[in-house]
C-alpha cells in the first residue's frame, strides 16, 4: 500500500493507493482542515485509525514549504515535519517529503490533456522545460528540467521573490502593501487568497468604487477571498471585478518572469486552488497582457503555451506517482 499526501495551509489531503503491476487505485482518501490540528502526526493517526492491518510500503507527501535534509517547517502552518519520524509512524523507511510544487509538477506530468485549458491562442509548444505556478493559500513555483531524454523536477521558493510593479496602479499598490509588510513585499502577498484580499482592500481604500454592504457582510461570514473571486467572476461588484483584473495581470507578469528565467518551451502550467475557479477571468485580456509585457522578449513569450490545470488533486496524484515509481 502507498500513502500519498498534499499538505497546504488550508487543507491536508491523505490517500492510500493499492498498487498491482503497473496499475494503482485509491483505496481511501480523506481531507482535513490543516489549521484545526497542532501537528501533522495527529492527522496521520486519525487517517489510519479506522484502517485495519495496513502495511504502508512507501509514502510521499507534498508540503507547502522548503524541504531541508528531510525536514520541513511549513510556511503557512506552525508544523515541523520530519521524514524519519513519519516513517516510524508508518513502519517504513521509504518516506519522501517533497515541496508541494514538486509534487504538483510530477502530477502535471501524469495528467491527461483534457485536464488543461490553453490561455495562449498563439502557442507553439515544443520539447523543453516546463514551469509550474500555483496560487492558493500561498504562491508556489517549480521548474521541470528536460535534458532531451528525461524530466527532472526542481523545487523553488520563487513565490517569495520581490514584487515588481508594472503599472502606475501597481506602484500605488506596492506603496500600500509596504505599510502592511514593511520588511518585504513578495509576489505571494498578491498572488494568493490573502493577496486577493489585499488588492480588494487597496482598491476600497483608494475609492475605486463604493463597497457593497452585501459583499462586505458575506466577507465577514465566509472566506473573503472566495467571496471576492465569486463576485468578480459573476461581475456583480465593481471592486471585486477590478481586484480580479489586477490579480490576473500580476499573475501573468510573474508567469512571464518565471518563463524568462527557465525558457519553458514545453509550456507553463497554472495549478493551485485559484486558477480553475477564476478561469473565465484568466481567459480575458489581463493575464496575457501581463505575461507578454516583457519588451524585447515579447516575441519569445508569444509562442509559449500557458495552460490552466483544472484537476484540483494534481499535487496528491504527483505524490502518489513519485512514491510508486521512485520509492
In the predicted model, what is the mean pLDDT of residues 223-238?
97
pLDDT value for 174? 98
Q: Which residues contact 316 (CB under 8 A, 6 or more apart)?
A: 4, 5, 6, 13, 15, 62, 103, 107
Average pLDDT over all residues of the chain? 95
pLDDT in tens, 11-38: 999 999 998 877 889 999 999 999 999 9
pLDDT value for 176? 98
- 52 pLDDT exceeds 70? no
pLDDT value for 326? 87
pLDDT value for 50? 73
Q: Residue 101's beta-bridge partner residues?
A: none
> Could you tell me if 111 and 103 are in contact, meaning their C-beta atoms sit under 8 angstroms apart?
no
In the predicted model, what is the mean pLDDT of residues 247-254?
98
- 133 pLDDT exceeds 80? yes
C-alpha cell recorded at residue 51: 484502517
pLDDT in tens, 162-207: 999 999 999 999 999 999 999 999 999 999 999 999 999 999 999 9
Q: Among 22-31, 239-248, 261-270, which stretch is predicted with the lowest mean pLDDT?
A: 22-31
- 288 pLDDT exceeds 80? yes
In the predicted model, what is the mean pLDDT of residues 240-259?
98
304 DSSP assignment: S
- 277 pLDDT exceeds 90? yes
pLDDT value for 21? 77
- 267 pLDDT exceeds 90? yes
pLDDT value for 54? 79
In the predicted model, what is the mean pLDDT of residues 75-102?
93
Pairing of β 95-99 and β 58-63 = parallel
pLDDT value for 320? 96
DSSP for 91-124, please give it.
T-S-EEEEEHHHHHHHHHHHS-GGGEEE--TT--
What domains appear along the chain, each with residue ranges and CATH number? 2-106+314-326 (3.30.420.40), 113-310 (3.40.367.20)
Q: Report, in this order, helix, strand and coil percent for the chain, each rounded to 5.
A: 45, 25, 30
In the predicted model, what is the mean pLDDT of residues 254-280?
97
How far, CA to CA in Å, does 266 sit from each of 148, 210, 263, 306? 12, 43, 9, 9
Answering whether pTM is above 0.75, one says: yes
Pairing of β 23-33 and β 80-82 = unpaired
In the predicted model, what is the mean pLDDT of residues 68-97?
92
- 287 pLDDT exceeds 90? yes
- 232 pLDDT exceeds 80? yes
Amino acid at each position: 500500500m502507498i500513502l500519498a499526501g498534499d499538505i497546504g495551509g488550508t487543507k491536508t489531503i491523505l490517500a492510500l493507493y493499492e498498487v498491482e503491476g503497473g496499475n494503482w487505485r485509491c483505496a481511501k482518501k480523506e481531507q482535513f482542515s490543516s489549521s484545526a490540528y497542532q501537528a501533522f502526526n495527529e492527522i496521520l493517526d486519525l487517517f489510519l485509525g479506522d484502517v485495519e492491518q495496513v502495511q504502508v510500503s512507501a509514502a510521499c507527501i507534498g508540503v507547502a514549504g522548503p524541504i531541508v535534509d528531510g525536514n520541513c517547517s511549513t510556511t503557512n502552518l506552525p508544523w515541523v515535519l520530519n521524514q524519519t519520524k513519519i516513517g516510524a509512524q508508518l513502519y517504513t523507511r521509504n518516506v519522501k517529503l517533497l515541496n508541494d510544487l514538486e509534487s504538483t509538477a510530477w502530477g502535471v506530468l501524469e495528467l491527461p490533456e483534457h485536464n488543461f485549458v490553453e490561455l495562449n491562442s498563439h502557442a507553439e509548444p515544443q520539447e523543453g522545460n516546463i514551469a509550474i505556478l500555483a496560487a492558493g493559500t500561498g504562491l508556489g513555483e517549480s521548474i521541470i528540467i528536460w535534458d532531451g531524454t528525461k524530466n527532472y523536477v526542481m523545487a523553488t521558493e520563487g513565490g517569495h521573490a520581490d514584487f515588481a510593479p508594472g503599472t502606475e496602479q501597481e506602484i500605488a499598490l506596492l506603496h500600500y502593501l509596504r505599510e502592511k509588510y514593511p520588511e518585504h513585499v513578495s509576489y505571494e502577498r498578491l498572488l494568493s487568497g490573502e493577496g486577493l484580499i489585499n488588492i480588494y482592500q487597496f482598491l476600497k481604500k483608494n475609492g475605486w468604487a463604493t463597497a457593497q454592504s452585501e459583499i462586505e457582510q458575506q466577507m465577514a461570514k465566509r472566506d473573503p477571498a472566495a467571496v471576492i473571486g465569486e463576485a468578480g467572476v459573476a461581475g456583480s461588484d465593481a471592486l471585486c471585478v477590478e481586484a480580479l483584473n489586477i490579480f490576473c495581470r500580476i499573475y501573468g507578469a510573474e508567469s512571464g518572469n518565471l518563463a524568462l528565467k527557465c525558457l519553458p518551451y514545453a509550456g507553463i502550467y497554472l495549478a493551485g486552488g485559484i486558477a480553475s475557479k477564476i478561469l473565465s477571468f484568466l481567459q480575458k485580456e489581463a493575464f496575457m497582457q501581463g505575461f507578454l509585457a516583457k519588451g524585447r522578449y515579447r516575441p519569445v513569450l508569444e509562442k509559449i503555451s500557458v495552460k490552466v490545470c483544472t484537476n484540483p488533486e494534481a499535487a496528491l496524484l504527483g505524490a502518489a506517482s513519485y512514491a510508486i515509481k521512485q520509492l
